[in-house]
Amino acid sequence: MIDTSRFPATNAIGDFIRATLPGPAAELTNIVLAVLAILTVVGLTPVALIWMERKVAAHFQARLGPMRVGYHGLLQPLADGIKLIFKEVMKPEGADTFVFFLAPILSATASFMVLTVIPFDHHLQVTDLAGGVLYVIAVAGLGIMGVLLAGWSSNNKYSLLGAMRSGAQMISYEISLALLMLLIVLLSGTASLREIVFSQAGTVLDWWIFKFPLFGLVAFVLFLISSTAELNRAPFDMAEAESELTGGFTTEYSGISFAMFFLAEFVNMFMAASLTTTFFLGGFLAPQFGLAPLDRVLDAIPGFLWFFLKSYSVIFIYMWFRWTFPRPRVDQLMNLEWKVLVPANFFLLLVAGLFVAMGLV
């Protein structure tokens, strides 16, 4: 087992500020720096993921993707972002102005708030809440509110229908995600995300995907399916089905308002991948194989690099889903949740309870 005393919650920058400034000023400065760090992640993540999405889609379809703006199209997302910022922001006649412009802000804010409790490394976490899992479940609902308000306020039947589909889908699959998170809380004995990571200390076989024999792998697959539906990503993008709804709840949005929904979608994907990494793949802990020379080399790599490598690997799986599977019907999607995933998750909780009671995990 890893000695967790080697992973203090403080870091050099925070210690320097606390040693240099008086108490309240140091606390405020550290809070501002933490918020700026999360804003940097929120700002840069969509840029990287938009480029990655286009390249993955292109290679799945035997083409190259963006190649002209920057090396291999690296600057294409930046060019598209600038274009969206300068496009005219339009509001449909009859729309509720305040709610119409509030909706994209709510969607983007939900992602930002969840990232504040994600442990990117042992010393890179804005705050470690004892009930971090409950906080994640609660705050994630803000994103659903943003989608529902966007569809309702647009005064457009396509938007309203897309929002109602999305609300039913997201609320339903939120139940499966919550049950899977509670499964890991039951197994690890803590609701703190940082402590959940440390509960997987040791070799890769101590990650919950393997540590909960066979059922951990099943839970991991169910988490991927549920989070894909929660993200409204293909093949579960019923809320934006272009062939049916012309774009769903974003039909009437343009310019920076549409850009915020677009940003929220990719930040949400990174957030879901981060939670998958934290719950099942050892978080920021380096993979260990019980081979001393190799383990020392892997342990020398900073934890946040392992965290991003694992998270982006999960994101690649999300993109693989999008460009591989056909879109099911709405009724098939809801049947999958209520007739398959929810019963399966309750069964996993029952098995986990037996494992904990018998001291097998």
Q: Note the pTM of the prediction, 2 decimals.
A: 0.92
Crossing angle for the helix pair 23-60 and 303-322, to the nearest 10 degrees: 40
* Cα dihedral value 337, 340, 345, 350, nearest 10: 150
Q: What is the pLDDT along the chain (361 residues), one digit of tens a residue?
A: 455 666 777 777 888 888 888 878 888 888 888 888 888 888 889 889 999 999 999 999 999 988 998 898 999 988 988 888 888 888 888 888 899 999 888 888 888 888 999 999 988 888 889 999 999 998 887 888 888 898 889 888 888 888 888 888 888 999 999 999 999 999 999 999 999 999 999 899 999 999 998 999 999 999 999 999 988 888 888 766 656 666 678 888 888 888 888 888 899 999 999 999 999 999 999 999 888 899 999 999 999 999 999 999 999 999 999 889 888 888 898 999 999 999 999 999 999 999 999 888 7
Q: Which two tokens stand for residue 297?
A: 């080399």
Tokens of 288: 């260990």
CA distances from 310 to 1, 170, 208, 269, 341 (A): 21, 25, 14, 13, 25
Query: Rounded to an integer, what is the distance from CA 35 to the centroid of its chain?
Result: 18
* DSSP SS3 for 123: coil
Comparing CA positions, the residue from 97, 100, 102, 85 lying closest to residue 251 is 100
Compute the distance between CA of residue 118 and CA of residue 326 in angstroms, rounded to an integer: 32
Look at residues 95, 96, 130, 132 and name the one whose alpha carbon lies nearest to residue 114: 132
Q: Is 124 in a helix, a strand, or coil?
A: strand
How far apart CA 268 and CA 202 sit, in angstroms, is: 29
- For 36, the token pair is 């700026």
Question: Which of 349, 172, 145, 153 shows the shortest CA–CA distance to 264?
Answer: 145
- Asked whether the CA dihedral 242, 248, 252, 254 is positive or negative, the reply is negative
pLDDT at 135: 93
Which amino acid, one-letter code, is at 225? I
**First-last CA distance in the chain:** 14
Give the pLDDT confidence score for residue 54 in this predicted structure.
Answer: 92
- Residue 121 phi/psi, 5° resolution? -160, 175
* Residues 122, 193 contacting (CB under 8 angstroms): no
Please tell me the distance from the alpha carbon of residue 29 to that of residue 51, in angstroms, as a whole number: 34
Amino acid making up residue 263:
L
Q: How far is C-alpha 102 from the geometric centre of its chain's CA atoms?
A: 22
The distance of Cα 361 from the centroid of its chain, to the nearest Å, equals 27
Half-sphere exposure for 37 (CA within 13 Å, toward CB) = 19
pLDDT in the model for residue 2:
54
**Distance of alpha carbon 118 from alpha carbon 332, whole angstroms:** 33
For the record, the structure tokens of 238 come out as 């019923």
Quick check: bond before 326 cis, omega within 30?
no
